[in-house]
Amino acid sequence: MARKPDPDKKRQIVEAATQVFAGKGYAAARVIEVAEAAGVGKGTIYEYFRSKEDLFFAVFEDMMADTDSRISVTIATVSGSAADRLRAVADAVVTAWLPKLDRYALVMEFWSAATVSPLRRRFKESFQQAYDGFRRVITALLQDGMATGEFADDIDAHKTASALIGTWDALLLQAWLDPDFDPLGASRAFVEVLLNGLRSKKIKEPS
């Protein structure tokens, strides 16, 4: 019987693993469950991944790449005032994640794994990289606004960007916890307050 070679099998497994890990968490997830979800035999997993942990990392990288690309696309596409671009990015981040809030649990899992696993370094680095990349984008955006006079010139762009990124992170977390929470609304309201603050000329120095 000729076996149809399936070059997508790896992807198939990663996707199944994403579902399973998101649903039950890494520790509680069983390799056999991933295999079943992927519609392959248990042994097949090990044809493509050295170990469960390796598979986990593959899921992680897949997710990071996915998120990353969405943001990049948004940044590249939008034009207009710095404020408008910030609004667009904010909306892009939140809406990119909203439909897959169920996978948000995975992010927690990744953090958690970053504490524990021999992979911790890889995870942490990847996370930092992602954060740094994103922060750079936001920082640049803010500095752009400052350069054009749209924003006040005494803003610490880097720190503000850091905080802002964290805000989105946390809004999504709250949405995951509470299905009634409206992260997009909160994000928008918050961004407006922020933009307002950014535009003002006088910023009181932190004591």
Q: Which residues bind its own copies (CB under 8 A)?
A: 2, 22, 24-28, 41, 43, 87, 105, 108-109, 111-117, 124, 127-128, 131, 155-156, 159-160, 162-171, 173-174, 177-178, 181-182, 185-198, 200, 202-207
User: Any idea what DSSP says for residue 205?
Assistant: P
CA–CA separation, 127 vs 61, rounded Å? 10
CA–CA separation, 62 vs 37, rounded Å? 18
Among its own copies, DNA, none, what does residue 9 contact (CB within 5–8 Å per kind)?
DNA
CA–CA separation, 88 vs 78, rounded Å? 7
Among its own copies, DNA, none, what does residue 47 contact (CB within 5–8 Å per kind)?
DNA
Whose CA is closest to 46, among 63, 62, 32, 59? 32
Among DNA, its own copies, none, what does residue 51 contact (CB within 5–8 Å per kind)?
DNA
Q: Report the nearest approach of DNA to the CB of residue 29 (Å).
A: 7
Among its own copies, DNA, none, what does residue 112 contact (CB within 5–8 Å per kind)?
its own copies
CA–CA separation, 69 vs 55, rounded Å? 21
CA–CA separation, 16 vs 35, rounded Å? 8
Whose CA is closest to 98, among 74, 67, 60, 141? 67
Select from 23, 24, 46, 127 the one that contacts DNA (CB under 7 A).
Answer: 46
Among DNA, its own copies, none, what does residue 53 contact (CB within 5–8 Å per kind)?
DNA
Helical residues (DSSP H) of 78-119, grouped into ranges: 82-97, 104-116
Q: Is 43 in the site for DNA (CB under 7 A)?
A: yes
Return the number of the residue (11 or 68) whose C-beta is nearest its own copies: 68
Identify the three-state secondary structure at position 4: coil
Q: Is 31 in the site for DNA (CB under 7 A)?
A: yes
CA–CA separation, 42 vs 47, rounded Å? 10
Q: Is 76 in the site for DNA (CB under 7 A)?
A: no
Instruction: Choose the stretch contacting DNA; rule: CB under 7 A; options: 2-10, 63-71, 84-92, 191-199.
Output: 2-10
Q: Is 1 in the site for DNA (CB under 7 A)?
A: yes
